[in-house]
Structure 1
């Protein structure tokens, strides 16, 4: 069936057309005008409408590179349906290389927003009105915060109809079935009945090749699952290896000082009682304090800082009944990166 003409923010996009439209963002405080580019790939044939957004937090640059590579992939494909991408949502944060907007608000706690609200509220409102409302699936790309690394994982609320199958098609090693957070894009999507998955991978202000490739690979798999593309990619359409859990917990520093990891714990299974790191007194006046895993699981996020203060989050551990699939997936990704 032939696709219909799409109209977004007064712009007409015909079937088979790729167009970049510019959403005006509030001027920065020097009155310099800025716009947010929105990329629209409108297939000749009717099909699902998927949006992908990144840099809702302005320091999460890994996600921008994921969308760039997805664009390269789409150029080689005959698309069925519509793909809308916003590589940089929080343009103010990207300019300042910070997580937040210039008014220190978190955009991902400001949805659904308001046309006449705060800076964050206005951006949130525009994203819902012009992008989300034109789609029936969504992917929101993120990384860990400054000084934290997240392994490739999804955050999904399975109570939204269709979200479980949609999430599994991404083929991420770990899916956290987690509740929505007030003011998040995921909550706004759920209220509109749109399945949305949040991809987490990497760290702020840095590229991580493993997490970038996992994100691109996941998006390609999703589009194959939705029958938006036909692909010879060897990963597209593969049976999901994802393991799902509702249980995760941050292990916090029992003391202040310098952190000495016992070994690389990232994306590694750990046993209850295992020593993950030792915290040393920088003045060498007191004995070291061990950081101990509270239960069996896999490390899905960790602090990268060399120093810590008592109570700081150090290791994010997810609990699973079976974790062999997660280890196998990570090793497969690492092999793929070493031998592209």
Structure 2
């Protein structure tokens, strides 16, 4: 007889074949209103990996929340084997306020591993790592670009990790960027605890984009299919092409303040010298063309109609591998 692993979250055990929603409540609003974070667990009767799909670490990154919501409503989170944990909104405080940060002004993704007796954000980080992550083998954490900057659908992994590269191949987002773990980040702490994490970036804050949502959901399907966790009727759509790996990139910054109109879209390949945007003043006195400094793929574009000198307006790849 197969010995099933024990899965316990916030003192609640989830048995094989069980579906359970566990609520995490660390603190209340200043109005004394309870603020509960649902942790949705679906466990198969057949043993297998435990996979976490999380979003809303930054409360204004709505597109990731929509991706995880679709996994639930379309029952993609009901595994053929193993266990799937979904946390659509980690930073419920930020989500309520449509804000990136916690009410204490801290970025939750910079305070891990947190502290039991620290700031509000630090306490959330602590309980997330203590209560949930010890159960998890793999994680896909969904994010979006901030400050009106729209990210092409992409997976981010640390360089030199062949297992993560193979999982990025499986997920098969349009782009995969090599990026180092940031101190204090959720990804960094998960890595130290032995959890294999893919970080998904796509879209921009306070926005839901259909194409980004589609890429995220289809990537999850391919990811689950790889572990034989996906039910056959949920078969994913084949990706148009293998993911393109980017190991070097640079930001293009505005040389002038003014009205901003970009001509290049995220995901587009541009050639050196190509006009990719135009910055003008409101009074018709000047018009500055922005040209690509090198050939490469646009992996992020600023959607703001107004920019200031020095603002990041494009993120462009310099080399691919």
Say yes or no: does 1:272 pair with 2:272: yes
- Tell me which residue corresponds to 1:317: 316
CA shift in 2, pair 1:74/1:5, >3 Å: farther
Q: d(CA) in 1 for partners of 2:33 and 2:172?
A: 42
Give the superposition deviation at 1:232: 4.4
Give the superposition deviation at 1:151: 1.2
- 2:110–2:183: 8 Å Cα contact kept in structure 1? yes
Give the alignment of 1:22-33 within 5 angstroms: 22-33=23-34
- Tell me which residue corresponds to 1:165: 166
- Tell me which residue corresponds to 2:202: 201
SS in 1 for 2:145: coil
CA shift in 2, pair 1:238/1:310, >3 Å: closer
Give the superposition deviation at 1:76: 8.5
CA shift in 2, pair 1:158/1:46, >3 Å: farther
Give the superposition deviation at 1:231: 2.6
Q: d(CA) in 2 for partners of 1:237 and 1:311?
A: 40
- Tell me which residue corresponds to 1:308: 307
Deviations 1:62-107 (A, max 9, x none): 1111112111343685521111111110000001011111111100
Say yes or no: does 1:249 pair with 2:228: no
Deviations 1:188-208 (A, max 9, x none): 111112110110111111110
- 1:160–1:195: 8 Å Cα contact kept in structure 2? no
Runs of 5+ consecutive residues of structure 2 not aligned to the other structure? none
CA shift in 2, pair 1:19/1:55, >3 Å: same
Runs of 5+ consecutive residues of structure 1 not aligned to the other structure? 323-340
Deviations 1:175-196 (A, max 9, x none): 0011111111110111112110
- Tell me which residue corresponds to 2:82: 81
SS in 1 for 2:171: coil
TM-score by length of 2: 0.94
CA shift in 2, pair 1:273/1:66, >3 Å: same
Q: d(CA) in 2 for partners of 1:270 and 1:125?
A: 44
RMSD: 2.0
- Tell me which residue corresponds to 1:123: 124
- Tell me which residue corresponds to 2:99: 98
Q: d(CA) in 2 for partners of 1:159 and 1:126?
A: 30
Q: d(CA) in 2 for partners of 1:93 and 1:155?
A: 23
Q: d(CA) in 2 for partners of 1:191 and 1:24?
A: 25
Which is worse superposed, 14-23 or 127-136? 127-136
SS in 1 for 2:38: strand
Q: d(CA) in 2 for partners of 1:154 and 1:231?
A: 25
- 2:24–2:37: 8 Å Cα contact kept in structure 1? yes
- 1:4–1:14: 8 Å Cα contact kept in structure 2? no
Q: d(CA) in 1 for partners of 2:33 and 2:108?
A: 21
Give the superposition deviation at 1:249: 1.3
Q: d(CA) in 2 for partners of 1:230 and 1:253?
A: 48
- 2:71–2:77: 8 Å Cα contact kept in structure 1? no
- Tell me which residue corresponds to 1:293: 292
SS in 1 for 2:214: helix
Give the superposition deviation at 1:288: 1.7
CA shift in 2, pair 1:38/1:176, >3 Å: same
Q: d(CA) in 2 for partners of 1:107 and 1:157?
A: 20
- Tell me which residue corresponds to 1:181: 182
- 1:15–1:42: 8 Å Cα contact kept in structure 2? yes
Q: d(CA) in 1 for partners of 2:63 and 2:56?
A: 9
SS in 1 for 2:140: strand
